[in-house]
């Protein structure tokens, strides 16, 4: 059985569905702080399979010990964590507590119950801002500025350090760029729409929940002045997890892979793709830059191509179409 921490959230729930599709038994632990029990019902509905669920917090090691002692767990997919850069500036301690202490608890509990395989949900933000593009996994990283990114890099380093005490351990660290898009059922993870990320903002605008679409900065040193990111479809991202899992089952050690598309698109370029497909003009408002935002970044994905035989299938046009299909489902349910 695979333990999926944070399995009710955006990435965790999509991963849970794919694991079940691949005939893996899973146990989800989630504190439902940024999701709700409906995720479990929907995961079951989509997969037509049973899912074990524990409502609990990974900062409580007793809860984790119970998970491992009462279930035959062979591997962990670790998604549980806080994920907002702006919130992490306001409440850094909770970021270190959940993201770092949670990871330490998990390692301790895995050690106690002799579980030796973990896939860790990391972030492109660990690269900070000092490196030439595209970013490669083997860069020696300085501590990034924002507390969220620090908590992810610290967790990576703790996992690597633990490895030297346990020769049987295997770690797959996945550095996500900007995951977007939705499961075709439209049933996974509504909470993402409440966030202020670009795609949720676009959907909120289309649903008329907001009157105009904010563009945070149009004077960056980029191709058109707006921020440039590497967007990767959620299903491609999850495929990377399954491949990383297979790889780490066969190879002992710590392995790091970027999961992105390898291409950068600006905010204006993304908006234009939506406008073209919808044949409409968006009401845009240029607002000041957000704290902590970088001008541009994208991934070098050749390591994941080579070692995992992982190639994202959906290009930016497919991603935008997928998002519009999700929007249609939401519009009908509105
Ligand atoms: C993308 C671009 C914005 C909203 C992501 C994750 C975050 C973290 C790091 C994972 C930027 C601009 C946005 C809007 C806009 N997680 N924008 N108008 O900041 O790259 O963060 O990666 O490790 O959790 O979300 O993503 O989608 O917020 O922003 O102009 O309404 O869109 O300024 O240039 P970001 P994003």
Residue nearest to atom 30 of ligand 1 (CA): 215
Share above pLDDT 90 across residues of the chain, in percent, rounded to a whole number: 90
Quick check: 233 pLDDT over 80? yes
* pLDDT band (50, 70, 90) for residue 334: low
Residue ranges of the chain assigned to CATH 3.90.25.10: 190-229+262-333
**Set 10, 95, 127, 148: catalytic member:** 148
Which CATH number describes the domain made up of 2-180+231-259? 3.40.50.720
Assess whether pLDDT exceeds 70 at residue 262.
yes
Contact 156, 122 (CB under 8 A): yes
* Averaged pLDDT, 304-322: 97
For residue 77, what pLDDT band results from cuts at 50, 70 and 90?
A: very high
Ligand 1 binding pocket mutation candidate from 198, 204, 218, 271 (most atoms within 8 A of CB): 198
> What is the reported pLDDT for 329?
81
Rounded Cα–Cα distance for residues 237 and 241 (Å)? 7
Average pLDDT over residues 130-151: 93
Lowest mean pLDDT among 34-38, 72-76, 267-271: 34-38
CA 227 to ligand 1: nearest atom: 34
CATH topology classification for 190-229+262-333: UDP-galactose 4-epimerase; domain 1 (3.90.25)
Give me the sheet containing 117-123, strands edge to edge: 52-55, 26-30, 2-5, 75-78, 117-123, 170-176, 253-259
Q: Is the pTM of this model over 0.95?
A: yes
Query: Given the CA of residue 213, which atom of ligand 1 is nearest to it?
Result: 31
Q: How far is it, in rounded angstroms, from Cα 209 to Cα 237?
A: 28
Per-residue pLDDT, averaged over 46-68, amounts to 97
Q: Whose Cα sits closest to atom 15 in ligand 1? A: 215
């Amino acid at each position: 059985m695979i333990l999926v921490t944070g399995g009710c959230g955006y990435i965790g729930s999509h991963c849970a569905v794919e694991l079940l599709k691949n005939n893996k038994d899973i146990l989800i632990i989630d504190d439902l702080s940024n999701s709700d029990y409906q995720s479990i019902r929907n995961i079951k509905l989509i997969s037509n399979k049973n899912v074990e669920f524990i409502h609990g917090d990974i900062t409580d090691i007793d809860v984790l010990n119970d998970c491992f002692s009462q279930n035959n767990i062979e591997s962990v997919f670790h998604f549980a964590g806080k994920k907002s850069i702006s919130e992490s500036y306001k409440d850094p301690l909770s970021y270190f507590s959940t993201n770092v202490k949670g990871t330490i608890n998990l390692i301790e509990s895995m050690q106690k119950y002799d579980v030796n395989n973990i896939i860790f949900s990391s972030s492109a933000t660990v690269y900070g801002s000092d490196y030439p593009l595209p970013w490669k996994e083997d860069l020696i990283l300085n501590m990034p500025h924002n507390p969220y990114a620090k908590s992810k890099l610290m967790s990576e380093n703790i996992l690597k350090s633990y490895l030297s005490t346990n020769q049987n351990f295997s770690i797959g660290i996945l550095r996500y760029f900007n995951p977007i898009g939705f499961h075709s059922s439209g049933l996974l993870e509504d909470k993402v729409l409440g966030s202020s990320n670009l795609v949720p903002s676009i959907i909120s605008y289309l649903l008329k929940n907001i009157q105009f679409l904010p563009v945070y900065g149009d004077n960056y040193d980029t191709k058109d002045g707006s921020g440039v990111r590497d967007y990767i479809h959620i299903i491609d991202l999850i495929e990377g997890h399954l491949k990383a899992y297979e790889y780490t089952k066969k190879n002992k050690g710590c392995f790091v892979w970027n999961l992105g598309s390898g291409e950068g698109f600006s905010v204006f370029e993304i908006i234009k793709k939506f406008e073209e497909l919808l044949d409409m003009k968006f009401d845009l408002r240029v607002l000041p830059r957000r704290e902590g935002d970088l001008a541009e970044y994208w991934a070098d994905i050749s390591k994941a191509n080579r070692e995992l035989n992982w190639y994202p299938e959906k290009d930016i046009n497919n991603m935008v179409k997928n998002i519009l299909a999700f929007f249609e489902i939401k519009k009908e349910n509105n």
